[in-house]
């Protein structure tokens, strides 16, 4: 069962909601285990490094559909296992904060991904990238 929804929080923010056919523990592992994250996140092989704790750093090199490589890095601001990840990340215009909230829905997990951005262009690009991530995560979990 998959559900998509977009709710605008402000002019330069987005919020995406998915109901995933996987338990919270599996979704959490997919997002926080380096080897699993690399498999579905469009990351270049060997580029994912995660220190999943408040203040811990994370890095990845994302390869977009055109083959362009984008180095992304940040840190974890809040970590509540199987419930919440709040991450900052460096962007060309400064930094931004992304939040992943997980809710156990019995047979599945509701995942809410939101981000505040500095401009409409940044928001649109980030929302498109996050939609691709959630699509890929959904496929990864279905195949697991």
> Which residues contact residue 100 at a Cβ distance below 8 angstroms, ignoring those fewer than 6 apart?
31, 84, 85, 86, 87, 111, 112, 113
Least confident of 16-30, 36-50, 116-130: 116-130
Q: What pTM did the predictor assign?
A: 0.88
In terms of Cα–Cα distance, which of 126, 63, 68 is closest to 92? Answer: 126
Q: What's the pLDDT at 4? A: 39
CATH of segment(s) 5-143: 3.30.530.20
Q: Which of 10-14, 63-67, 115-119 has the lowest mean pLDDT?
A: 10-14
Task: Give me the pLDDT at residue 131, please.
Answer: 95
Q: What is the pLDDT of residue 130?
A: 93
Q: If pLDDT is split at 50, 70 and 90, which confidence band does 125 have?
A: confident
Question: Bigger pLDDT: 101 or 129?
Answer: 101
Which pLDDT score is estimated for 1?
42
Res 69 pLDDT > 70: yes
Query: What average pLDDT does the structure give for the chain?
Result: 90
pLDDT for the residue 3: 40
Q: Are 16 and 3 in contact (CB under 8 A)?
A: no
The per-residue pLDDT for 95 is 85
């Amino acid at each position: 069962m998959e559900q998509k929804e977009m709710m605008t929080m402000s002019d330069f923010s987005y919020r995406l909601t998915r109901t995933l056919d996987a338990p919270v523990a599996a979704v959490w592992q997919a997002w926080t285990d380096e080897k699993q994250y690399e498999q579905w996140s469009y990351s270049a092989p060997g580029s994912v490094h995660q220190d999943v704790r408040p203040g811990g750093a994370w890095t990845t090199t994302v390869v977009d559909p055109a083959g362009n490589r984008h180095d992304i890095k940040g840190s974890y601001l809040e970590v509540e296992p199987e419930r919440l990840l709040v991450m900052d990340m460096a962007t060309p215009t400064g930094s931004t904060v992304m939040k992943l909230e997980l809710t156990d829905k019995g047979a599945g997990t509701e995942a809410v991904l939101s981000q505040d951005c500095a401009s409409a262009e940044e928001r649109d690009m980030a929302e498109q990238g996050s939609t691709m991530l959630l699509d890929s995560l959904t496929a990864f979990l279905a195949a697991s």
